[in-house]
Structure 1
Amino acid sequence: MSDRKKNIILTGFMGSGKTTVGIRLSYRLRQQLVDTDRLIEKEEGRSISEIFAGQGEEGFRRMETAALRSLLETEGEQIISTGGGLPMREENRMLLKELGTVVFLRVSAETVYERLKGDDTRPLLQKENPMEEIRRLLEIRNPVYQAAADITVDVDGKDFEEIIGEIAGIAGGEKETADENTCD
């Protein structure tokens, strides 16, 4: 079996914990972490906000697809953290399935708001009613995330170690070592 199917891909809305979970899961499972947003920034030599300003959302979404295609060419097992909008393109959802096990980190609007309310780099939170906008986008995106997922992990009320343990136990359980196992 190809190593690619052993990749673990993290999807979900902004603030769901993809980056933090990715870093910690990478360490726990001893797999390289690839963040698609950072991959695109490195390739383009610009920040995501600069790409959006210069090429628009559609241009950025095409870059996400190209990044996924390039990941299909890589060998080895990886943890892949995606941007929140990446699964919204059907082509990207198909590529995610080819890449490995897709994990949807499901989060409530309240948790997103609490985690990000002080972050002035998120345009979404600069709206007149950010909670309303978060709810609106979750209503659109959650069914898409769910349809693309092999595994769904609810993150509300859990610390990162609980989330990582759940993912490692399901998607990467064979790699856990005795000292990493947790007791329930």
Structure 2
Amino acid sequence: MATKTRDASPLPTTKSAQDTLLGHLARRVRILRAQRGMTRKQLAEQSGVSVPYLARVEGGEGNVSVALLHKLSVALNVPMQDFLSDAAAQNADLTMLVQFLKQQSPATLARLRQQLISTPGFSGMGHGDRIALIGLRGAGKSTLGALLAAQLDAPFVELDKLIEQEAGIAIGEVITLYGQTGMRRLERRCIERIIDTHPRVVLAPGGSIVAEAATYELLLRTFFTVWLKARPEVHFARVMAQNDARIATSALQREALEHIHRMLDARESLYQLTNATLDTSDLNVDEALQQLVAWTQPAAAIS
């Protein structure tokens, strides 16, 4: 009796499919790096992947290995599968919910998220008088945060300084010594402590906090959040006014402005999840503060 033989060789992978996969990976690495505000050199240093090779990966030309993906996942503090797919290991209920949500419009998703987090008992905590100002460096978080806290008679906390106190070293050294994973673990611990000990507080976290989904979700659920927005050129001008020696030359200034553009593009959809957005580009400090007070007084009246 004749028997059928099965070709055990793998199905061929076309060059087009390979290019598509590498292109997707390149976009994900660029976006994840920009969301965290990391330069290519910083990612190379923390991952152990050379700058030229990282440039090839981000250009969709790298012959990427599993070992290299692991290095990048550690340096960026994301699961390896996040580079290749948005899907994660899920139970049946979560799978069905994800499929349902994928079919909804952006407006419906925003409404559903707000309804869910405002459901009594969902978080076990309310916004109370906790207010968080989100945004890039130069948005006015420190200046407006301190003034708003004074208006509300509440403490003002800059998260990076709290992390430095917790670690006993400068924030840059925290990242150098412990990487993104250690830094984000400290960041989460400090926010949880603030929630436990400060029913009333104005918080200014680092701009990259939006890249850490679990921590950002906690912040959105337990704080009244405001995105302090500004045009890239305004952000840059404000940083320049601080006499930052890291961008003292014209070449570095061009690179810094491009970096701001990339971060804003990568984070915009995340910043838009806040309760309110305040464009400070054309406002003076008093005008911006007046708007913040108007928004936060109803939240302050809850307690």
TM surpasses 0.5: yes
Bigger shift: residues 113-122 or 6-15? 113-122
What displacement does 1:102 show? 0.6
- Higher relative contact order, structure no. (Cα contacts within 8 Å, ≥ 6 residues apart): 1
Alignment partner, residue 51 of structure 2: none
The answer to whether the aligner puts 1:144 opposite 2:270 as a matched pair is yes
What displacement does 1:127 show? 6.8
Ranges in structure 1 where 5+ consecutive residues have no aligned partner? 177-184
Query: Superposition pairs for residues 19-168 of structure 1, below 5 Å?
Result: 19-117=142-240, 118-120=243-245, 126=252, 129-147=255-273, 149-168=274-293
What displacement does 1:81 show? 0.8
What displacement does 1:121 show? 5.5
Contact 2:138–2:235 (CA under 8 A) maintained in structure 1? yes
Q: Flag the 1:157–1:126 CA change in 2: closer, same or farther, 3 A.
A: same
> Aligned partners of 1:15 and 1:49: how far apart in 2?
18
Q: What TM-score, normalized by structure 1, do the two folds share?
A: 0.85
Ranges in structure 2 where 5+ consecutive residues have no aligned partner? 1-119
**Runs (4+) off by over 3 Å:** 1-4, 125-128, 173-176
What displacement does 1:114 show? 0.4
The structure with more strand, counted as a fraction of residues: 1
> Aligned partners of 1:27 and 1:61: how far apart in 2?
29
Aligned length in residues: 173
What displacement does 1:138 show? 0.7
Q: What TM-score, normalized by structure 2, do the two folds share?
A: 0.53
CA offset digits 1:54-83 (Å, max 9, x no partner): 112332122111111112211431101111
Q: Supply the AA of the counterpart residue of 2:144.
A: V
Identity of aligned residues (%): 25
Bigger shift: residues 113-122 or 157-166? 113-122
Q: Describe the SS at the equivalent of 1:158.
A: coil
Find the structure with the greater CA-based Rg. 2
